[in-house]
A and B are shown apart, each in its own frame.
Chain A
Amino acid sequence: MNIPEGLFYTKEHEWVRIESDMATVGITDHAQSSLGDITFVQLPAAGADIQRSSAIATVESVKAASDVYAPLSGEVVRVNEDIVVNPEIVNQSPYEKGWFVVMKVKGLFEKQGLLAPHEYKKYLDELSE
């Protein structure tokens, strides 16, 4: 499973790239692989105020629907319309072209509780045991 360095992760299988007060959010390689072919993505509106751990997006695969949760609190400034039109991008490029939203983060102190790459890897290993 691909777990790039330089990102933070959640136990719900989201990733976050933090650049100053901006956070790009997506779902991990493990998440896209477990879901299988992704067929539908619903994103929040730009400008939406989001609380940490609330559902910000819906992802559907052929077999199932699931929510994507906000890893941090903040305001949605940009959403990736490409994955709404072509949801398979999330399968093909979960960490690059398949990003979901960019948020302007309120308090970076919330970074506590996010997982570093090696911690996320350990968590996945425990899940598969």
Chain B
Amino acid sequence: MKNTQLKYTPLLSIHKDLSARLGPFGGWMMPIQYRGIIAEHNWTRQSASLFDICHMGEFLLRARAEDISKDGVFTSSLSSIPVGSCRYGFILNEAGGIVDDLVAYRMGEDEWMFVVNAATKDKDLAYLRLNLPSSVVIEDISDKTAKLDIQGPLSAVVLKAFAGERIDALGYYRHGRFELTGQDTVISRTGYTGELGFEIYVDRRLAAQLWQVILADERVRPAGLGARDTLRLEMCYPLYGQDIDETVTPLEAGFERFVDLKKDFLGKPALLRQRCDGLRKRLAVFVSETRQSPRHGDRIYAEGKDVGFVTSGSFAPSLGIGIGMGYVENGYDWIGARVLIKNERSKLPAKISDRPLYMKGTLRK
């Protein structure tokens, strides 16, 4: 990090009262775990967990629909997002490398919100100011916006007590304005865990009160970034800076479905070239044959040859085995391929698998 001064979320003192283990992430001091990663992971899959996600960045974009249709940066169409819906996509550099992955919310006829990663927020803002048409007005609202995620099969029943019946009508990847305990919030049915869940955007000054009110429901427990990481890895969701970055394209990462080649965006010519030439490496997911876990940086061997590297690896609490993701050379990444994952400590037999690894998630229920 250029700036070594860590930022704090408005919930820091609450986390300390909960005896959270804190650690730096994306330039912020964040709760990594409370009771323990596995307990928090399992609670999210069976009940509901509350996550402090205030580190993520939010931008408001204002433009007429005909101007935003020529945005020239987002890999998906912004103008065709219905008001009240969200869409996942990427912004790319000239070479097609991923500058960031983000979720775009259509807030109104002429207003969008971008939710971006913490570590890339300033870079993204500079990129967007440089590359968006000048008719698009962009405002960084990260400092005044808090984000709380409630995730888990019981998250809807819990939220209903505050937000009303209307929460049930919110479909997957839809969002709306809700009053929660007298506070104006934006709630989307989105998340990073594979479970039914919601992301709540609220004025930073009101975040602590909202956190306490939601946590007062005994079906909800706090969960940290440790559990968020194991939950997302079981779903094979990429983590920016680890599984995807400026050196890989969405095609190599296997996210072609979030790239609309019918529209124009920075990096598209590079993607078209890559598609024509063929991919040399692709993001693969694999499962260990034991409880031992692949780790970030491990090498991947197939048929005695070094064919790639691990970007994320962890024990998967819901599966009871080690799992991971990494880039594997073309020709060695077929589903079912046996690989050997090596580091100085061990050689770990694993098998390349289909995504997602965890199949019982409730996210679309």
Interface residues of A, Cβ cutoff 8 Å to B: 36-37, 39-40, 42, 58, 60-65, 67, 87
Query: Are B293 and A39 in contact, CB atoms less than 8 angstroms apart?
Result: yes
- Smallest beta-carbon distance A91→chain B, Å: 8
Chain A residue with the shortest CB-CB distance to B230: A62
- Smallest beta-carbon distance A29→chain B, Å: 15
User: In the docked arrangement, what's the CA distance between A129 and B177, Å?
Assistant: 47
Query: Are A62 and B292 in contact, CB atoms less than 8 angstroms apart?
Result: no
Q: List 17 A-B contacts (CB under 8 A).
A: A37-B37, A37-B38, A39-B38, A39-B315, A40-B291, A40-B293, A58-B346, A62-B230, A62-B315, A62-B317, A63-B37, A63-B226, A64-B295, A65-B345, A65-B346, A67-B345, A87-B291
User: In the docked arrangement, what's the CA distance between A61 and B41, Å?
Assistant: 14
Chain A residue with the shortest CB-CB distance to B290: A40
> Which residues of chain A are within 8 angstroms of B315 by Cβ–Cβ distance?
37, 39-40, 60-62
Known: A37-B315, A65-B293. 5 other contacts (CB 8 A): A36-B33, A60-B293, A62-B314, A63-B226, A87-B291
CB-based closest 8 A-B pairs: A39-B315, A37-B38, A40-B291, A62-B37, A40-B292, A62-B315, A37-B36, A37-B37
> Which residues of chain A are within 8 angstroms of B322 by Cβ–Cβ distance?
39-40
- Smallest beta-carbon distance A69→chain B, Å: 13
> Which residues of chain A are within 8 angstroms of B314 by Cβ–Cβ distance?
62-63
> Which residues of chain A are within 8 angstroms of B33 by Cβ–Cβ distance?
36
- Smallest beta-carbon distance A81→chain B, Å: 14
Q: How many B residues, CB 8 Å from partner?
A: 19
Residue in A37, A65, A67 whose CB lies within 8 Å of B295: A65
Overall SS of chain A's interface: strand
Query: Are A39 and B291 in contact, CB atoms less than 8 angstroms apart?
Result: yes
> Which residues of chain A are within 8 angstroms of B230 by Cβ–Cβ distance?
62
- Smallest beta-carbon distance A88→chain B, Å: 8
User: In the docked arrangement, what's the CA distance between A61 and B21, Å?
Assistant: 15
> Which residues of chain A are within 8 angstroms of B226 by Cβ–Cβ distance?
36, 62-63
- Smallest beta-carbon distance B72→chain A, Å: 40
- Smallest beta-carbon distance A67→chain B, Å: 7
Using a CB-CB cutoff of 8 Å, which residues 196-245 of chain B contact chain A? Answer: 226, 230
User: In the docked arrangement, what's the CA distance between A60 and B295, Å?
Assistant: 10
Residue in B21, B292, B295 whose CB lies within 8 Å of A42: B292
Pick the most buried of B293, B322, B346: most chain A CB atoms within 10 A of its CB: B293
User: In the docked arrangement, what's the CA distance between A37 and B316, Å?
Assistant: 12
Query: Are B317 and A58 in contact, CB atoms less than 8 angstroms apart?
Result: no
> Which residues of chain A are within 8 angstroms of B39 by Cβ–Cβ distance?
37
User: In the docked arrangement, what's the CA distance between A65 and B38, Å?
Assistant: 16
- Smallest beta-carbon distance A108→chain B, Å: 30
User: In the docked arrangement, what's the CA distance between A64 and B346, Å?
Assistant: 13
User: In the docked arrangement, what's the CA distance between A42 and B293, Å?
Assistant: 12
- Smallest beta-carbon distance B185→chain A, Å: 32
- Smallest beta-carbon distance B22→chain A, Å: 14
> Which residues of chain A are within 8 angstroms of B291 by Cβ–Cβ distance?
39-40, 60, 87
Using a CB-CB cutoff of 8 Å, which residues 268-296 of chain B contact chain A? Answer: 290-293, 295
> Which residues of chain B are within 8 angstroms of A58 by Cβ–Cβ distance?
345-346
User: In the docked arrangement, what's the CA distance between A39 and B321, Å?
Assistant: 9
Query: Are B38 and A60 in contact, CB atoms less than 8 angstroms apart?
Result: no
- Smallest beta-carbon distance B233→chain A, Å: 10
> Which residues of chain A are within 8 angstroms of B38 by Cβ–Cβ distance?
37, 39, 62
User: In the docked arrangement, what's the CA distance between A64 and B293, Å?
Assistant: 9
- Smallest beta-carbon distance A30→chain B, Å: 14
> Which residues of chain B are within 8 angstroms of A42 by Cβ–Cβ distance?
292, 346
> Which residues of chain B are within 8 angstroms of A37 by Cβ–Cβ distance?
36-39, 315
User: In the docked arrangement, what's the CA distance between A87 and B322, Å?
Assistant: 14
User: In the docked arrangement, what's the CA distance between A39 and B38, Å?
Assistant: 10
Pick the most buried of A58, A63, A65: most chain B CB atoms within 10 A of its CB: A63
- Smallest beta-carbon distance A43→chain B, Å: 13
Chain B residue with the shortest CB-CB distance to A34: B21
Chain A residue with the shortest CB-CB distance to B36: A37
> Which residues of chain B are within 8 angstroms of A64 by Cβ–Cβ distance?
295
CB contact under 8 A between A60 and B292, given known A36-B226, A39-B315, A67-B345? yes
> Which residues of chain B are within 8 angstroms of A36 by Cβ–Cβ distance?
21, 33, 36-37, 226
User: In the docked arrangement, what's the CA distance between A87 and B38, Å?
Assistant: 13
- Smallest beta-carbon distance B6→chain A, Å: 19
